[in-house]
Amino acid sequence: MDTNKEFEFTTDDFDYLRGIVTRTTGIVAPDDKYTMYYSRLARRLRTLGLGDFREYRQYLEDNTEKESIELVNAVTTNLTSFFREKHHFDYIRETLIPAKIRSRDRRLRVWSAGCSTGEEPYTIAITLMQAIPDPENWDIKILATDIDSNVLQTGNAGIYDLSRVESIDVSILRKYFKKGAGAKVGKVKVNPELKKFIQFKQLNLLHDWPVADKMDFIFCRNVVIYFDKETKSRLVDRFADNLAEDGILFMGHSESLYKSTERFSLLGKTIYKLAN
């Protein structure tokens, strides 16, 4: 135990709290997340005006439904950016959409599972607008889900610091974002023409999925790395059940489906198709 810490944080506290997160979300926190848990939850203790983690544990027991959400929000990592892992969007623009156009099918369903603060679904929408000559004649819906209610608010608002869009091509910035003025200086807002395609919803991937449509492609990037092997396999099988016959699953750069499922085959660079 570090005596320099503002709050005493024992191994028992860590085990108790990460146990709640695992039971709630399936996310497994290894031992090296001890410091991260302390630093993020110490902020929560200050917000609540609590004196130590013993009080916080009691507060959790007294307010389980509400505070377990805040706990998950606090310790869930939400690292994302626009056009992250660019080859996925190149594949959509250069391969998937041309095939869709040739098929004369103008209906498109996309799911961004673990969408964080919204950069991923907005990047998908931009890519579709670039690749489809007449998007106004298409039936396009992008479902963006995350377990963290706070990041969903950011995504739904579509407002970002300028620093978040510095790497985006200037022509894209001019077309799909509006610079803030007055009190909004230093911010950009996503144009309504992108927002109209996207629906943000809170969703725990371990629970029921209110997904009515078969998806043409699903993004689940840098999510399954936080699950144990059994949970990962079960999740991937559910994705397979929710994909159209020629559907595509995009995974994160550090993830693999090797020995996790027989329902997908690798197309290349973390891009998977349903196995025949």
Among residues 13, 18, 109, 146, the one annotated as catalytic is: 146
Catalytic site includes residue 146: yes
CA proximity to 36, closest of 48, 27, 24 = 27
Catalytic site includes residue 40: yes
Are the C-beta atoms of residues 127 and 92 closer than 8 Å to each other?
Answer: yes
Query: Alpha helix locations (H) across the chain?
Result: 11-25, 34-48, 53-62, 64-75, 86-91, 97-103, 119-131, 149-157, 170-176, 192-195, 229-241
Report the relative pairing of strands 177-179 and 264-266 from DSSP bridges. Answer: unpaired
How many helical (H) and strand (E) elements, i.e. helices and strands, does the chain have? Answer: 11, 10
CA proximity to 255, closest of 272, 274, 237, 230 = 272
Are the C-beta atoms of residues 201 and 145 closer than 8 Å to each other?
Answer: yes
The DSSP call for residue 247 is: E
Residue type, 27: I
Among residues 40, 44, 57, 93, the one annotated as catalytic is: 40
Catalytically annotated residues: 40, 146
